[in-house]
Amino acid sequence: MSVVQIDFGKRKRARVVGIDLGTTNSLVAYMETPPPKVIPTPEEGKLVPSIVSYTREGKIVVGEEARRRLITEPERTVYSVKRLMGRGIADVQDELKLFPFQIAEGSESVIRLKLGERTFTPPEISAFILRQLKQNAEAHLGEPVEQAVITVPAYFNDAQRQATKDAGRIAGLDVLRLVNEPTAAALAYGLDKRHDGVVAVYDLGGGTFDISILRLHEGIFEVMATNGDTHLGGDDIDNLLLRIALEDIESEWGRDLSGDNSAVQQLRRAVVKAKEELSYALKTVIDFEYEGRRYQRELTRELFEKLITPFVDRTLGPCRDCLADAGVRPEEIDEVVLVGGSTRIPLVRQAVENLFRTRPHTELNPEEVVALGAAVQAAILAGSVEDKLLLDVTPLSLGIETMGGVVSKLIPRNSTIPASATEHFTTAVDGQTNVLIHVVQGERELAKDCRSLARFELKGIEPMPAGMPRIEVRFLIDANGILNVTAKDLRTGKEQQVEVKPSYGLTDDQVEKMIEESIEMAEEDFRQRQVREARVEADTILHAVEKAKQDEAYEALSEEEKQRIEEAINQLVVAYHGDDHVLIRTKIEELNNVTMKLAEAMMNAAVSKALKGTKL
Amino acid sequence: MQDTFKHAEACWQCGTPAEQDLFCRYCNSLQPPDLDYFRFFGLEPRLKLDPEDLQQRYYKLSRLLHPDRYTRKTSREREYSLEATAILNDAYRTLRDPIARAEYVLKREGFENVEPRSKNVDLELLEEVFELNMALEELRAGDESARPQLEVARDKFLAMRSEIDRDLQDLFEEYDATRSREILEKIRRLLDRRRYVQNLVAEVDRELSN
Ligand SMILES: [Zn+2]
């Protein structure tokens, strides 16, 4: 595998971009000076649909192009993969009923999706989206982009966060920070606001719902509490409408289309279009044509609102819990910020306004605000914004399983992160050398009702009578909301090795392997681009040398020098027709070197010619 | 008490003898954090604290220590920043809550098993608890008439908790003035009872909301 050397010596301050890796769409933004800006896609759009397709030629396509393939190649195309990030097969049974995910065999510990003849894990799919955003940013900024802040739903658990970080690594990004989406939105809004107060951020995206309550105080954005549902988003509305339309069609046409992926995708586009129109119009038509037949159904806003009321109501419970956890009454909320495409729905806006008794802010585009906030956080980490600081919290309590399967809470939910807890462990049996620890996340009393995070073993304990060893284990949730565990034998003072096996996630080795594979797949593209660029440079120099050969300075060169130039030209031309860009560049360099004297002579001639015309 | 990180004798960077400061007074590099919650905040170990003052100190320390400020520093300073901010947040979470603060002071003064996980019955509450359990059973068995009785019980326990809190406030002041271990002993007993009452309230709430 070839390694591309890029000279970063001249780089002043590493560029850090902010990425919103969404369920439906993804965006990348950056901030040089306020305000932050969304980086356009090559098609001059801003949103990259979070859709990935694997072509029959073994190429990966992302975004709009992949969206088109959703209809032509549904078996090779995947969307809404964020719903599967960091989750086990048992968690996603509901998802599998509603989304055309094709699960490959051997998905017990890590889900694998089948796209054509290959399988990919959700972090790999997300990595393709991230890589696309990275490329868009590089093309726009004209410099390499290797560091990023990536946003995640505030209610994402440890495994989902880890999976997102893994996706970043696989895409060749150094993920400096995972930031919670509602917090990022608050940062985007709070940028030019001088006054302090209590802000609620209501974030209803494609697949997830978050509510966060923050206190703004002299540039500090302190999250007081957060709540949410990682199973609730605009996708659910789409699925509801889709189901109704499918039933309609079945009774009208006498044909069940639900097994026909391509038809379902086209119908999905039709219902999404209708849904979006109802944010502005009072009625619309779901319009769908398939194999010469046409289905049309009028949908009024009134009926639409009746259909989605249960769905909107489901967001209100987490809002009330969040208020209670923050210790804030609704009337104490100074401002409400809306985030996510689904907050364009008038009924959602009304519900939020009723609950918080405040008219929500909508100045910033709800689909862009998270990426913009991520760009602000990126600027904070790069050191170019110094007066702002985010203090975020962990959404779920962290605990360990104790006797009888009961959870002992170590770090309560809504604790500001980084946060830590220290526990002491000992042995139960004489001579025991291992202690098994089960870490869980969640609010329930029994470990089996919580989310299993990891199991790890304290190994190599000196054999002693039961209860004698004293092992101190420190659980630390870092600023990304990810758990780190260290252990120490208090008798020997020796650091203990801790091997944390994630319950639902990739091991380090698996991630390493995926990084390699991803580079291999992406390399085709990248290498082709490099070859193209090298050839352009070769063209330039070959053209210049051919021209110089007409110059009198060339005639003045020795035969040996002329020979060397000819030789170098030949070698470059041979390399030019190969596909090794490193070789092309080496040959360009060599031709440059042997023509150095010629170039100097021509330069001097030109200078003296110019001087001749000048009066001294 | 935890001792994963001992406060260093001298600056890890330049060797200047350390004082109890966050940063080396000579080279300004971040030092390993102090693990004592009160010292971390530069406070005397007192049971009564001014919440406003504590919050101001917390914000100020967060600005100095948060990992967001250290992404471009050495890996060692990044690690200290993470450790220090974790302890800062743990300390703030503990000290801003009067009950958690009192439990912390008890632990700091060598009291063991400050947060027992057993549910030993408080003998003085025996009668009330007995009645309560009867009502809970009835409600669980589907007898809705037990509901008002439970609500009365809930109010009673809440009143009890308020009374305990008032008594605690007095004892906190007394301890700050005298530093007497006897007072700590009283505080400890009162905290046990409070926890017990608190559990009862939670249990009733759970049943009532079902
Ligand atoms: Zn120093």
A380 and A414 share a domain? no
> Taking residues A458-466, what's their average pLDDT?
86
Q: Distance between CA atoms of B196 and B116, rounded to whole angstroms?
A: 10
pLDDT digits (tens, 9 = 90+) for B129-171: 787 888 888 877 877 777 888 888 888 889 999 999 999 999 9
pLDDT of residue A10: 36
Report which DSSP code applies to A42.
T
Are the CB atoms for A366 and A181 separated by under 8 Å? no
Cβ distance A151 to A181 under 8 Å? yes
Q: Do A420 and B67 touch (CB under 8 A)?
A: no
pLDDT at A374: 97
* First CA to last CA distance, chain A: 59
Within a domain: residue A286? no
- Considering the domain architecture, whether residues A17 and A123 belong to the same structural domain is answered as yes
Place of tokens 């038809």: A263
DSSP-assigned beta bridge partners for residue A214: A199, A223
Ligand 1 centroid to B23 CA: how many Å? Answer: 8
| Exposure on the CB side of residue A116, measured as CA atoms within 13 A | 16
Per residue in A547-595, pLDDT tens? 888 888 888 888 998 999 999 999 999 888 887 888 898 999 999 888 8
Closest chain A CA to residue B116: A408
Residue with more model confidence, B119 or A343: A343
State the total domains in chain A.
3
> Do A370 and A502 fall within a single domain?
no
With a threshold of 0.90, tell me whether the complex ipTM lies above it: no
Mean pLDDT computed over B80-90: 95
Do B86 and A420 count as a contact with CB atoms less than 8 A apart? Answer: yes
- pLDDT score at A526: 58
- Give, as one character, the DSSP assignment of residue A75: G
* Beta-bridge mates of residue A216: A197, A221
Residue A289 lies in a domain: no
Looking at the DSSP bridge assignments, the partners of residue A451 are A441
* Eight-state DSSP code of residue A83: G
B126-140 vs B146-178: helix axis angle to the nearest 10?
140
Contact B70, B22 (CB under 8 A): no
Q: Is residue A474 part of a domain?
A: yes
Task: Tell me the helix, strand and coil percentages in chain B, rounded to 5.
Answer: 65, 0, 35
Convert the pLDDT of each residue in A84-97 to its tens digit: 999 888 888 888 87
Helix (H) / strand (E) element for A498: namely strand A498-502
Res A100: pLDDT? 80
- What residues contact A506, with CB distance under 8 A and at least 6 apart? A110, A121, A123, A163, A166, A514
**A99 or A369, higher pLDDT:** A369
Residues in chain A closer than 8 A to B40 (CB atoms) = none
pLDDT at B118 exceeding the cut of 50: no
Contacts of B59 in chain A (CB under 8 A): 217-218, 220
Claim to verify: residue A12 and residue A101 sit in the same structural domain: yes
Q: How far is CA B19 from CA A277, B9, B25, in A?
A: 66, 8, 8
What residues does A339 pair with on adjacent strands?
A203
- What integer pLDDT is reported at residue A128 of this predicted model? 95
* Closest CA in chain B for residue A388: B63
Eight-state DSSP code of residue B34: P
Give the nearest chain A residue to B68 (CA atoms). Answer: A381
- Contact: B59, A217; criterion CB under 8 Å: yes
Residue A293 has which token pair? 């037949």
Task: Output the domain CATH number for residue A135.
Answer: 3.30.420.40
CA pair distance A40, A200, nearest whole angstrom = 29
Is A334 part of the annotated catalytic residue set? no
Give the nearest partner residue to A176 out of B71, B82, B117, using CB atoms: B71
Q: Is A616 among the domain residues?
A: no
d(CA A364, CA A335): 14
Residue B148 is predicted with a pLDDT of 83
Give me the amino acid identity at A253.
W
Please give the pLDDT value at position A96.
83
- pLDDT tens for A94-148 read 888 778 888 888 777 789 999 998 999 999 999 999 999 999 998 888 888 999 9
Nearest to A594 by CA among A560, A568, A575: A568
Task: Return the sign of the alpha-carbon dihedral for residues A275, A278, A280, A281.
Answer: positive
Same domain assignment for residues A203 and A123: yes
Q: Specify if A191 maps to a domain.
A: yes
Burial of residue A111, with CB atoms counted within 10 A of its CB: 0-12 exposed, 13-18 middle, 19 or more buried: buried
Q: Do residues A164 and A483 make contact, with C-beta atoms less than 8 angstroms apart?
A: no
Q: In 10 A of CB A4, how many CB atoms?
A: 11
Structural domain boundaries in chain B: 1-96, 118-209
Q: Are residues A119 and A196 in the same domain?
A: yes
Query: Counting beta carbons within 10 angstroms of the beta carbon of residue A455, is it exposed (0 to 12), middle (13 to 18) or buried (19 or more)?
Result: middle
Shortest Cα–Cα distance, A504 to chain B (Å)? 26
Instruction: Decide if A203 is catalytic.
Output: yes
Residues A558, A481 share a domain: no
Q: A370, A343 in Cβ contact below 8 A?
A: no
> Per the domain annotation, does A376 fall within a domain?
yes
Q: pTM value? A: 0.83
Model confidence over A4-24: pLDDT tens digits? 333 333 335 678 999 999 999
Domain that includes residue A192, residue range: 8-232+318-391
C-alpha B62 to ligand 1 mean position (Å): 21
Q: Are A204 and A234 in contact (CB under 8 A)?
A: yes
Domain boundary among A340, A366, A391: A391
The residue type found at A378 is A
Q: Are residues A76 and A173 in the same domain?
A: yes
Do A54 and A145 reside in the same domain of the chain? yes
**Partners of residue A382 in chain B, C-beta under 8 Å:** 71-72
CATH of the domain at A498: 2.60.34.10
Q: How confident is the model at residue B8 (pLDDT cuts 50, 70, 90)?
A: low
Contact of A565 with A601, CB cutoff 8 Å? no
Q: How far is A135 from chain B (nearest CA, A)?
A: 24
Is A439 part of any domain?
A: yes
Instruction: Give the domain-ending residue among A369, A391, A413.
Output: A391
Cα–Cα distance for residue pair A79/A23, rounded to 1 Å: 8
Q: Which residues of B touch A177 (CB under 8 A)?
A: 68, 71
Q: How many pairs of residues across A and B have Cβ atoms under 8 Å apart?
A: 63
Antiparallel, parallel or unpaired: β A113-115 and A118-120? antiparallel
State whether A387 and A408 are in the same domain.
no
Is residue A517 domain-resident?
A: no
A594, A555: one domain? yes
Active site residue A91: no
Last residue of a domain, one of A332, A363, A391: A391
DSSP H helical ranges for A254-293: 261-277
Q: Provide the angle, in degrees to the nearest 10, between the axes of the packed helices A559-576 and A508-548.
A: 140
* Domain B1-96, CATH among 2.20.28.120, 1.10.10.10, 1.10.286.10, 1.10.287.110: 1.10.287.110
Which residues lie below 8 Å from residue B80, measured CB to CB, with a gap of 6+?
B30, B31, B32, B33
Do A328 and A448 have their domain in common? no
